[in-house]
Structure 1
């Protein structure tokens, strides 16, 4: 098993067994699929440390600190201040840390019971799909505002966001470890992408474009902004796939 620990969990390694037992009450379960460590001020879901959830429960400072820590590590596995450790690829937590001999059934169930099962465990591939609402702007000028389909694929230390706008345009952002994304153009070149996780909302900035994608229940109706979206689609179809 890969025993790499995210930088966000490094502080937990310094916790003694007695302190770990005392800190067990500091681990909270806000909602199904969420775990928060009050000592480290980090929250987790079935994909590992979550910047969005951390911001909800611990504020912007904790979220920014986690974002910086994640940018220095490609592993999503983590250890809590109470001593429990969780492997995202194996979808399992243990109460004896990385010795991984005693499965923590409660923590495993809390994190992974409601998450979709992996059809190919050896590939360590996780897929999440969601309807959403997106806006696209160029140099601050609105170009699209309407419904979109969101898809995230995580495999090993590689993740990919696929955003399909209702005007037919699709944008694919790739990450091969760390916290840096790229988008490819039709000539095989790559553009750097700045990505900010705001929980249910993700903000992608590339070239002079800003794409904001927000999860919802898919009930939003198309708006007149789709007309502008079609125009920008024609303008970008020779550049972006």
Structure 2
């Protein structure tokens, strides 16, 4: 699958939606991430991150690992702005060189290196 916001060899960031079929494609990449609590206006993380994209049919899952924490997981369909992060509905904005995930009081910006 070609990712419009990254080079063919790069990826961006995603819940866990149980997928009946095994993933048909998996891509890993190093990126730069910024996690913000938008309600408080505070940056919780800013720095390098590892992003893994899995594709199964029309479903895409991004796993975004920042530092030593558990990865953030996002799932949805490419081209749709409505994604999921756990039980939270997530707004996904696909950008030319990255993407933004917004849910609750948080925003995660991911940019290709």
Q: TM-score, normalised by structure 2?
A: 0.74
User: 1 or 2, which has the higher strand percentage?
Assistant: 2
Q: CA deviation at 1:123?
A: 5.3
User: 1 or 2, which has the higher helix percentage?
Assistant: 1
Q: Post-superposition, which runs of at least 4 consecutive aligned residues in structure 1 deviate over 2 A? A: none
Separation in structure 1 between the aligned mates of residue 97 and residue 48 of structure 2, nearest angstrom: 15
Partner of 1:34: none
**Relative contact order higher in (CA < 8 Å, ≥ 6 apart):** 2
2:57 matches 1:160: no
2:33 matches 1:134: yes
Partner of 1:196: 93
Q: CA deviation at 1:47?
A: 3.2
Q: CA deviation at 1:169?
A: 3.4
Separation in structure 2 between the aligned mates of residue 145 and residue 178 of structure 1, nearest angstrom: 27
Partner of 1:182: 84
Q: TM-score, normalised by structure 1?
A: 0.37
Select the residue among 121, 125, 144 that pairs with 2:24. Answer: 125
Partner of 2:102: 205
Separation in structure 1 between the aligned mates of residue 44 and residue 101 of structure 2, nearest angstrom: 15
Say which one has the larger Rg.
1
Per the alignment, in what secondary structure is the counterpart of residue 89 of structure 2? strand
Q: CA deviation at 1:200?
A: 2.0
Q: CA deviation at 1:176?
A: 5.1
Q: Once superposed, what is the RMSD of the aligned Cα atoms?
A: 2.4
Gaps in structure 1 of 5+ consecutive residues? 1-45, 54-113, 116-121, 185-189, 217-241
Separation in structure 2 between the aligned mates of residue 124 and residue 174 of structure 1, nearest angstrom: 13
Q: CA deviation at 1:124?
A: 6.6
Q: How does 1:44-59 map to 2 (within 5 A)?
A: 46-47=1-2, 50=4, 52=5
The alignment of Structure 1 onto Structure 2 pairs a total of residues equal to 98
